[in-house]
Structure 1
Amino acid sequence: MSSFVTTESGDRIAFDRRGTGPALIFVAGAGPWREIDSGTSQTGELLAGKGFTTVVYDRPGRGESVAEGPFTLERELSALAALIDEVGGSAVLCGHSSGCSISLLAAARGLPIAGLALWEAPLAPPHSGADDFADELRHLITAGELENALSFYMRDMPPEILDIVKTIPAMIGQAATLQPDADSLAWAESAPLSDLLSERRMPVLAMVGTSSFDDVMVPAAEMIVTEIPNAEWKRVPGANHDWEPGPMADELAEFLARIPR
């Protein structure tokens, strides 16, 4: 059964909390929520069994976190702040895809984050076009063109995958929640990461799947290591932008064990 917390922005966030011990919160990327993301829930269960508290939640406007737009980064950060309070006031964030840039922004804003685990962060060097991308997406969402907004956001996906995504009515109905993903990527491209996180020092683990989009994900992981102190990157079993729950839980447990408390 889902638990709920109300944020300072007024959103009611649905989440699953498992285990006890140092806390990790999974931050989904563009689109998923708990009902269709069994891999993250399974990872949370496995990690909880290793002596940690895990939180898997539906981001504002997705799944059971029912909300109306416009969806903003401030609402995303408010959700994370409320969930961090729920687990005792400090947590590691595990971002997936654009959930990585949301997690990085949360750290830059000073939320009490003990570390960052970043799975296939789709980051690019400063001023690579993410701001224009975010503006165009906002135009489509504001015009109510949600199916076009979904197609636009996922335009780089293989056509056969996009066709499957568009058969899920909720993916179209919740397309407005993609705006914070685009805005977080635009923020991450607004300056070097070394400048954006200049006031923050925490362990950072960037991960890339063993079968991945190497032309994008490997340069992004290398940039994270170059720009952020205390960062490392490694290969972890996974393919097509998803991780394998067992090896991912092992990797996260090792990372959490190394973080001072």
Structure 2
Amino acid sequence: MPTVTSADGTPIGYESTGSGPALVLVDGACCFRAAGPMRPLAAALQHHFTVYCYDRRGRGESGDTQPYAVRREIEDLQAVVAAAGGTASVYTMSSGGAIGLEAAAEGSGIAALAVYEPPLLGADPAYTERLTGLLAEGRRGDAVALFQSRVGMPPEAIAAFRASPGFAVLEGIAPTLAYDDAVLGPGHLRPEVAAAITVPVTLIAGGASPEALREAARSTAAAIPGARFEVLDGQTHGVEPAALAPLLVKLLS
């Protein structure tokens, strides 16, 4: 599996498929190439782009050099864009949107950016404190359950998932939940970041997603000069590749 070396020496595992202009995909929380939406999305886009999927640090085939800093994740994305030829469009999902927005504000070779439902819903100090404590105690399963509860999964669904084989995969990357929490920071797009973004940006929300997520996408778009806001009818936070791909082709080709 190919890797690219990030600025701090961390190996970042990635793969590419298709042909055409470069497009880099950035995952959200609890996801990586082998467990998440990006490989199916890459398959839906491969006839229009050369699509690059990578494992965010601490996940899959990527390293996890300590101490963690949000800055390192921006550098990871920059390294993958460099591996893609130095210029690429970028699609980001959920918490990965915060990384894409920060990177776009720096230029970073990003030609255009599409962001699906960044959960910029305001800071939650109680969640941060509880998550930090669980991870410090080594209670990875409880940390994952806490995250799932925070994003609205019913208690009975969490209990059922904890009994399934797939739960162990999430326990393995549970420490990265703290990374996602740090990436989202104050829970809104900082004005200086918004003002520095000059590339085309589109915020996307699902029409069947919670209103809070739609409003977060809408308000983030309003904060960025010239940004667009799009709604995919009938879609939720778990957007279907077949519904999303045509819009990305339209926006990023």
TM-score, length of structure 2 as denominator length: 0.87
Alignment partner of 1:254 out of 243, 250, 253: 250
Partners of 1:165 and 1:206 lie apart in 2 by 31
Structure 1 residues 21 and 130, CA gap change in structure 2 (3 angstroms) = farther
| Correspondence 1:32-181 to 2 at 5 A | 32-37=31-36, 39-50=37-48, 52-67=49-64, 70-124=67-121, 128-130=122-124, 133-156=127-150, 157-159=152-154, 160-166=156-162, 167=164, 168-181=167-180
Q: Secondary structure at the match of 1:155?
A: helix
Runs of 4+ in 1 over 6 A off after TM superposition: none
The CA deviation string for residues 102-130 of structure 1, in whole angstroms up to 9 with x for no partner, is 21122234422222211111113xxx324
> Cα offset for 1:178?
1.4
Count of residues paired in the alignment: 248
Partners of 2:240 and 2:16 lie apart in 1 by 20
The CA deviation string for residues 26-83 of structure 1, in whole angstroms up to 9 with x for no partner, is 111110112122x421221221202x12111111111222436554323312221110
RMSD: 2.3
Structure 1 residues 185 and 132, CA gap change in structure 2 (3 angstroms) = farther
Partner of 2:183: 184
The CA deviation string for residues 236-259 of structure 1, in whole angstroms up to 9 with x for no partner, is 2564411221231111111013xx
Structure 1 residues 256 and 209, CA gap change in structure 2 (3 angstroms) = same
Partners of 1:91 and 1:135 lie apart in 2 by 37
Q: Secondary structure at the match of 1:163?
A: helix
**Unmatched tracts of structure 2, length 5 or more:** none
Structure 1 residues 133 and 112, CA gap change in structure 2 (3 angstroms) = farther
Confirm or deny: 8 A CA contact 1:91 1:113 kept in the other structure. Answer: yes
Confirm or deny: 8 A CA contact 2:143 2:174 kept in the other structure. Answer: yes
Partners of 1:227 and 1:158 lie apart in 2 by 30
> In terms of mean alpha carbon deviation, does 60-69 or 166-175 score higher?
60-69
Alignment partner of 1:221 out of 194, 217, 221: 217
> In terms of mean alpha carbon deviation, does 221-230 or 128-137 score higher?
128-137
Partners of 2:158 and 2:252 lie apart in 1 by 35
What amino acid is aligned across from residue 19 of structure 1 in structure 2?
G
> In terms of mean alpha carbon deviation, does 56-65 or 69-78 score higher?
69-78
Confirm or deny: 8 A CA contact 2:13 2:55 kept in the other structure. Answer: yes
Structure 1 residues 84 and 133, CA gap change in structure 2 (3 angstroms) = same
Q: Secondary structure at the match of 2:112?
A: strand
Q: Secondary structure at the match of 1:44?
A: helix
> Cα offset for 1:188?
4.6
What amino acid is aligned across from residue 142 of structure 2 in structure 1?
N
> Cα offset for 1:230?
1.7
**Unmatched tracts of structure 1, length 5 or more:** none
Partner of 2:18: 19
> Cα offset for 1:133?
3.7
Sequence identity of aligned pairs in percent? Answer: 31
